[in-house]
Amino acid sequence: MNVLTGYIVREILKGSFVALLLLLTLFNLFTFSDELKDLGKGSYGLKEIFYYLALTSPTILYELTPSSALLGSLFILGAMGNNHELIAMRAAGLSIFGIIRAVMIAGAILVTVAILIGEFVAPQADRKAQVIKVTAQQGQILMDAKYGLWLREGKKFINVRQIQKDGILSDISIYELDDQHHLQQVMHADQAHFLGGQQWKLEGIRKSKISTEQMLTNTEKEQLWITSVVPNLLKNTVVNPNNLSLYDLAMYISFLKENHQKAHSFDQAFWGRVANPLLTFVMLLVSAPFVVGVKRGISAGARIMIGVVIGMGFNIIDTTVSHLGLIYNLNAPLIAFTPSLIVLAMAVFAINRVQE
């Protein structure tokens, strides 16, 4: 890496880091405003809100990396163009492709950091954030788990793996202890339907009663379950894509398919996570045509504004396509990669025009 390339890489990393901090602060302010509505609910106070914000920040940081890369590169390259640094670099022998290569090297560093955060920090932190919030608000004793939620209710320990969109619980296990804390009964239900109040209807039940002398097992088609567990307690704390790494998402999708359950939302989240690094590179390429062509009669501010509009517009389109994919059950890899590939082709075409 020569001196000019290293200079561009360092400046873009600095600009992207500043943009990331600003966006993260903005998003956390909005989240803080929303969380204040629940202040005083149960034992949910300011301390818990700040814990929640700190623990959800890695997930937001991971999701904001492409936008931060776009804004950082636009402002830094725009400033270089405005100060005639890019002209000097090209006079010194650095080609347009050399400048873009430096931008891509910076992007590779950003992507590497984002992947490390998204895979090893954000999932665990997000799970802890949800547990802290629900435990404080509902007064229930919750325990963090990779695949679902553990809830203690008296002498019973309840594990819920999934909540479907219509509020139906799936794959529920209930472990009951006696007064001496010995396992007394294990019950597993395929599904649970909320009937209102404190009543659920369990379906597809398998029971095992355990004693020192024998173990009795039986099955039942359905059973009434009286419990303090309500849908509001569970809706934000069971398995969701934000609190699973890419590997765990793949394992959970396999688990859902083996048990003949719907996995399309998790499948789309998996491919969206795979496509996220490409999105960062696409955002960096989008910035190039608006700041590299310094000989054109467009001010740096105008170039930055055009780039921001295109980048933000892309995020809106990408989100819309993603929701349409969920609604119409479209091919997940196609939905994840198509918007990025289309914008990538447009960016490459624009860069070629700049050289003409």
Q: What is the pLDDT along the chain (356 residues), one digit of tens a residue?
A: 689 999 999 999 999 999 899 999 999 999 999 999 999 888 899 999 999 999 999 999 999 999 899 888 888 888 887 788 888 888 888 888 898 899 999 999 999 999 999 999 999 898 888 878 877 887 655 555 666 777 878 888 998 887 775 668 888 999 999 888 889 999 999 999 989 888 999 999 999 998 888 889 999 999 999 987 777 666 555 667 777 889 888 888 887 787 676 788 889 999 999 999 999 999 888 887 766 654 445 565 666 676 677 777 887 888 889 888 888 889 999 999 999 998 888 888 877 876 66
Letter for the amino acid at 326?
A: L
For residue 334, the model assigns a pLDDT of 93
For residue 301, the model assigns a pLDDT of 63
Instruction: Give me 272's structure tokens.
Output: 């969206």
For residue 131, the model assigns a pLDDT of 79
For residue 294, the model assigns a pLDDT of 47
Alpha-carbon distance of 130 to 298, in angstroms, equals 48
264 CB contacts (<8 Å, ≥6 apart)?
Answer: 326, 329, 332
Instruction: Determine the Cα angle at 146 with ends 141 and 151, to 5°.
Output: 20
What is the arrangement of strands in the sheet containing 148-153, beginning at the earlier edge strand?
141-145, 148-153, 156-163, 169-177, 183-196, 199-210, 215-226
| CB of 336 closer than 8 Å to CB of 264 | no
b/e sequence 323-356, b meaning 16+ C-beta within 10 Å: eebbeeeeebeebbbbbbeebbebbeebbeebee
Q: What global pTM score does this model have?
A: 0.77
For residue 188, the model assigns a pLDDT of 94
Tell how strand 141-145 and strand 183-196 pair up: unpaired
Instruction: Give me 200's structure tokens.
Output: 């659920």
33 CB contacts (<8 Å, ≥6 apart)?
Answer: none
